[in-house]
Amino acid sequence: MTITDPDTYVRGVPYEELARLRRAGPVVRVDDFWAVLGHAEVRRVLRDPGVFSSQLGGTQIRDAADLAYVRRMMLNMDPPEHGRLRGLLTKAFTPRAIAKLTSQIESWARDLVAEVASDGRCDFAQVAADLPLRTLAGVFGVPEEDRRLMYDWSNRVIGYQDAEYAVSSTVSVTEVSELARSALAVRPAPGPDGSMPDPRTRAGMPDLYAYANALGEYKRAHPGDDVMSNLMRQVGDDGGRVSLAEFENLFWLFSVAGNETLRNGLPGGLLALLSHPEQYRRLLDDRSLLPSAVEEMLRWWTPVMHFRRTAASDVRLSDVDIRAGDKVVVWFSSANRDPAVFPSPDSFDVGRTPNDHLTFGHGPHFCLGAHLARVQLRAMFEAVLDLLGQVSLAGTPVRLRSNFQNGLKSLPVRWAA
């Protein structure tokens, strides 16, 4: 078994193998990189971009086919460029915009669960998938009929190792806005062998970039009250604005990362409850545990399993000598079960406090959407508890073939309608 083989994750995250490696040392050599497995060591790497760079080699284990393209994304930037763009984006998330989104999220979550409540069964992975899509459409001011485009785009990027997701194309040109039709005209199709262009290159996602360009131009000319309209109005301390090219890359980042993490975290959280019925009953009986239960779901499931950094200089990390240019991969799935930080780390406890999980990262790249992610999780599970009550598995969960995203493609469940 190897922690980098995507086939491993079709069966489940290899926690026992991660624990075995972690016991050998918090920093160990795996394939062509240093795997950072301890909680303290992961924090150290993430808070020091001067030594552990996002920009030098990008943030994925495999080397980027087009590194210059990858480096234009905020996720793969180092200071000071990262700070400038993040600062503008942070200002765009105004208290008014956050309050509006929070209210909408709570209403959307209840509507989604209410729509299936009388059926007695559903595929929760599919039901839950629409909440982050609606939230992101709200952030960007994307027309409601276009939000499923983000579903396909994130499938293709995150699911590039999964034959089904890599060719995702669920939206018809007749169903979308005028803004989207020209983008769909350049949507790539599978080749004779079923393969798609590399989605982690600009050329591999021409439809996403065409849409982002058109949307950015529209927002600049016709700003609304959404976050991205706020962003296009922002002026930085240096007098600069977000360029259209930067908007395109932010759209890519939010459409994929902002969607996929929650899309898998929601069914992952329910599967954690279903796998621990005594904890499910505890939460049903005491709703005050919901905030801590959400944090435990985030720790237990850990949607994004790892991120890469590249050593910018020689450095010693936990008695290991790392050379400039070495790949350094922080493994959140391991750090979130480090017994040095989490008592009984393999136990799922809806009342666990404190819970210093690293699911949203740490340091300058801490997830900008963490607050909205927590709002979505709390809203969805409050609706499940209120409207469905006790839920049970109605079939076998189907996992995503990916060594990066801890994903569920299907989670069939049932309840007393």
Pick 185 or 164 by higher pLDDT: 185
Residue with tokens 């008592």: 343
Specify the DSSP class assigned to residue 352: -
Q: Which amino acid is at 13?
A: V
Reference 242, options 100, 94, 72; nearest CA is: 72
The pLDDT of 97-114, averaged and rounded, is 96
Q: On the CB side of 170, how many CA atoms lie within 13 Å of its CA?
A: 17
Task: Inform me whether the pLDDT recorded for 134 exceeds 70.
Answer: yes
pLDDT at 236 over 70: no
Query: With bands split at pLDDT 50, 70 and 90, how would you rate the model's confidence at 235?
Result: low
The pLDDT value recorded for residue 1 is 60
What is the Cα gyration radius of the chain? 21
Q: Answer yes or no: pTM beyond 0.85.
A: yes
pLDDT in tens, 301-351: 999 999 999 999 999 999 999 999 999 999 999 999 999 999 999 999 999
Enumerate long-range contacts of 351-357, CB under 8 Å, 24 or more apart. Answer: 351/282, 351/289, 351/292, 351/293, 352/292, 352/295, 352/296, 352/299, 353/292, 355/292, 355/295, 355/296, 355/299, 356/39, 357/295, 357/298, 357/299, 357/302
Nearest 5 degrees, angle CA 148-CA 154-CA 160? 135
Q: Count CA atoms within 13 Å of residue 307 on its CB side.
A: 26
Q: How far is CA 67 from CA 82, 156, 172, 374, 410, in A?
A: 16, 19, 32, 32, 34
Tell me the residue type at 367.
C
Using 50, 70 and 90 to split pLDDT, how confident is the model at 237?
Answer: low
Cα maximum dimension of the chain: 61
pLDDT given at position 371: 94
Q: How do residues 145-163 score in pLDDT, each as one tens digit?
A: 898 888 888 888 777 788 7
Task: Give the domains, in start order, of the chain with CATH numbers.
Answer: 6-415 (1.10.630.10)
- What backbone phi and psi angles, to 5 degrees, belong to 67? -65, -35
- Tell whether the torsion through CA atoms of 199, 404, 126 and 375 is positive or negative: negative
Q: Which of 189, 173, 191 shows the shortest CA–CA distance to 181?
A: 173
